[in-house]
Amino acid sequence: MAGSGYFVRPESYSCPLCMDVLRDPVNIPCGDTFCLDCIKLYWDQADHVGVYSCPQCRATFTPRPALQQYVTNSGQDCRNWPEQPSFPALQQDTLCDFCTGHRNKAIKSCLMCLAYYCEVHIKPHYESATFKRHKLVDEMGHLDRKICPQHEKGFELFCRSDQMCICVLCTVREHRSHNIVSAEEERAEKQKALIVTQNDVQNVIQERMKELQELKHNVETLKGHGQRAMADSDKIFTEMIQAVERWHSEITCLIESTEQACMTQAQGYMERLEMEIMELQQRDADLRHILDTEDSIHFLQNFPTLCVPPEPIVPKVVINPEFSFRDVTKNVTGMKDHLEDICKKELNKISKTVNETPIYILLSRTGDKHFKVPSRVDLQEPKTREDFLKYSCQLTLDPNTAYKELMLSDGNQKVTRKKTALFYADHPERFDGFSQVLCREALSGSRYYWEVQWSGEFSIGVAYKSINRKGKNSSSLLGYNDKSWSMLCSDTGYSVWHNKLDKDLPCSSHAARVGVYLDHRGGSLAFYAVSQSMELIYKFQAKFTEPLYAGFGVGSTVSICHLRDSFSNLH
């Protein structure tokens, strides 16, 4: 800054073209500084004209000026400076041209004197009649841009033929017979255009502010949905954990009750066996006694009762080999594995839905039909025509696919069936068996909408690029194979075709304009009768595995509509 002893290096400034820190800075004749590569590329685009202008001040040069390496006030080549990080440019004060010694800051510049004045030295311009016609402005710097480099006179006029500022002497030779007006007159004209631009900018500002508010609101809504989803997830998983604990408790009770019943039953068997053993031991003692007696009469009298063989009282008890608590463990393990499989499968579905569904869809403001999808949200299905138009894309017919009797016109936006064959060169993508044509644009991964107007009879649909093009068979007829989907439209009604299956549709009214809505990612293709409302005719649900191309089977005339046209133009 002036007066502080600091010198601002050119790396601290940004290039007006790339808006980045100056790289290999060079000067051009008007005094402005640019990156070497930027100004070379900029002027390369003007080689066919032969007139080169400054991107900053619009000064023009003929022939193409030589570029001069930027040199500091001290004569130091800036190429020898080490790299520095980029900082905001520091604005140097413009100093008064008439101060001696310590120079004061200039507050005005005179377009007649082409000089800068401080508060003290500007006074004669206000007080003396001599300077009455001089024009004072607040702009500081670049007064050299207001001087004609050839005649060294101030610019006062504007040449409309060459679109540049000139001095009076320029009208004598260089701009003789050109359309020349005063700078003030040209400024008045251009100011009108600038006011229009300003109004456009203000309208855009209002639109962007409205978009910003809507986006903030939607973000807060999305945040609320996320918090509710988290709370619902916590609740559901808590219930799932409680259910698992309940199942655990039931399994535990089942094992305990089975074990208790088993122990009780076994205890009864053991008690009965012990009793039978005691009875048999008593009978064994009686038999031992009678066998040892010497009284034969006593022996013979007790023999009938003691000689009866013993009868089993308790059946033999063994453990059933088919019963095992290991089976319980095995079944519980199966429950765990099955539950894990279910959870993994459902989690994969959830992750796929969340990760593959965009939250934000960035629509090009320049009318580009392609969408950039950097983020994730599941947008609602469109309902009104305005909703559908958010996904509008402008299609063009591909002449290389057109049947020999189809004539394309209106910039390949209209196709008409002729009675005679047209001259078309052979092409591998041309339909040679059916009166059909496809569009150029590949539709994939996003949502698309287009409309057509028609007369006579025609079919409208989409197809993979791999659809057969040759011969009169179902593999090349739009809708009659697994590579295409279509709807036939006629004065009597509609029918839809896919993979050799067709279905007639009830028709309440005839629509001269048909809208097609394709959600490639979502797997749906819908046809609408377009009027003052959107009436669904039919919707296909499918899993699209390739990019799709819009196509038509033409009986008379089909026109692709320009969706910028007003809604009132529908007929």
Tell me the pLDDT band of 101, cut-offs 50, 70 and 90.
Answer: confident
Phi-psi map region of 568: left, alpha, beta (phi>0 left; psi -120 to 50 alpha): alpha
pLDDT > 90: percent of the chain: 31
For the stretch 113-125, pLDDT in tens is: 888 899 999 999 9
Same domain, 263 and 396: no
Would 539 be classed as within a structural domain?
yes
Of 323, 346, 369, the last residue of a domain is 323
- The mean pLDDT value for 447-471 works out to 93
Would 488 be classed as within a structural domain?
yes
Tell me the pLDDT band of 450, cut-offs 50, 70 and 90.
Answer: very high
Of 291, 323, 355, the last residue of a domain is 323
* CATH number assigned to the domain comprising residue 500: 2.60.120.920
Of the CA atoms within 13 Å of residue 277, those in its CB half-sphere come to 6
HEC sequence for 487-536: EEEECCEEEEEECCEEEEECCCCCCCEEEEEEECCCCEEEEEEECCCEEE
- Better-predicted residue by pLDDT, 151 or 79: 151
- The mean pLDDT value for 188-194 works out to 91
Among 448, 449, 417, 414, CA closest to 434: 417
Of the CA atoms within 13 Å of residue 498, those in its CB half-sphere come to 16
Rounded to whole angstroms, what are the CA distances from 560 to 10, 402, 451, 462? 54, 15, 6, 14
Contacts of 367 (CB under 8 A, 6+ apart): 394
Same domain, 316 and 394: no
What per-residue confidence (pLDDT) applies to 141?
A: 64
How many residues can be counted in the chain? Answer: 571
Would 547 be classed as within a structural domain?
yes
Residues 108, 117: Cα–Cα separation, whole Å: 5
Same domain, 412 and 517: yes
Q: 59 exposed, middle or buried (CB, 10 Å; 0-12, 13-18, 19+)? A: buried
- The mean pLDDT value for 385-395 works out to 89
Same domain, 431 and 556: yes
Residues 333, 339: Cα–Cα separation, whole Å: 10
Rounded to 10°, the helix 183-292/296-306 angle is 150
Contacts of 46 (CB under 8 A, 6+ apart): 52, 53
Would 571 be classed as within a structural domain?
no
Same domain, 154 and 298: no
Tell me the pLDDT band of 459, cut-offs 50, 70 and 90.
Answer: very high
- The mean pLDDT value for 538-557 works out to 93
Would 309 be classed as within a structural domain?
yes
Same domain, 468 and 510: yes
Tokens encoding 210:
């409205």
Q: Does 353 have pLDDT greater than 70?
A: yes
Tell me the pLDDT band of 414, cut-offs 50, 70 and 90.
Answer: very high
* CATH number assigned to the domain comprising residue 50: 3.30.40.10
For the stretch 236-282, pLDDT in tens is: 999 999 999 999 999 899 889 888 988 888 898 888 889 989 989 99
Would 256 be classed as within a structural domain?
yes
Q: What is the DSSP letter of 4?
A: T
For the stretch 33-80, pLDDT in tens is: 888 888 887 787 777 667 788 888 777 887 888 887 765 444 445 544
The strand pairing partners of 323, in sequence order, are none
For the chain, the domain total comes to: 4
Same domain, 399 and 506: yes
Would 181 be classed as within a structural domain?
yes
Q: In what order do the strands lie in the sheet with 414-417?
A: 406-409, 414-417, 557-560, 447-455, 513-519, 524-530, 534-541
What per-residue confidence (pLDDT) applies to 360?
A: 66
Which range of residues forms the domain containing residue 478?
385-560
Same domain, 25 and 166: no
Among 184, 181, 146, CA closest to 161: 181
Q: If you average pLDDT over every residue of the chain, what do you get?
A: 83
Same domain, 65 and 144: no
Contacts of 395 (CB under 8 A, 6+ apart): 439, 440, 441, 450, 550, 560
Q: Does 330 have pLDDT greater than 90?
A: no
Tell me the pLDDT band of 222, cut-offs 50, 70 and 90.
Answer: confident
Same domain, 180 and 208: no
Of 39, 69, 99, the last residue of a domain is 69
- The mean pLDDT value for 150-176 works out to 88
Same domain, 265 and 399: no
Q: What is the DSSP letter of 382?
A: P
* CATH number assigned to the domain comprising residue 174: 3.30.160.60
Residues 33, 13: Cα–Cα separation, whole Å: 9
Rounded to 10°, the helix 325-356/183-292 angle is 180
Would 5 be classed as within a structural domain?
no
Q: In what order do the strands lie in the sheet with 25-27?
A: 33-35, 25-27, 68-69
Same domain, 421 and 556: yes
Residues 514, 562: Cα–Cα separation, whole Å: 13
What per-residue confidence (pLDDT) applies to 7?
A: 35
Tell me the pLDDT band of 395, cut-offs 50, 70 and 90.
Answer: very high
Residues 29, 385: Cα–Cα separation, whole Å: 56
What φ, ψ does residue 251 adopt, rounded to 5°?
A: -65, -45
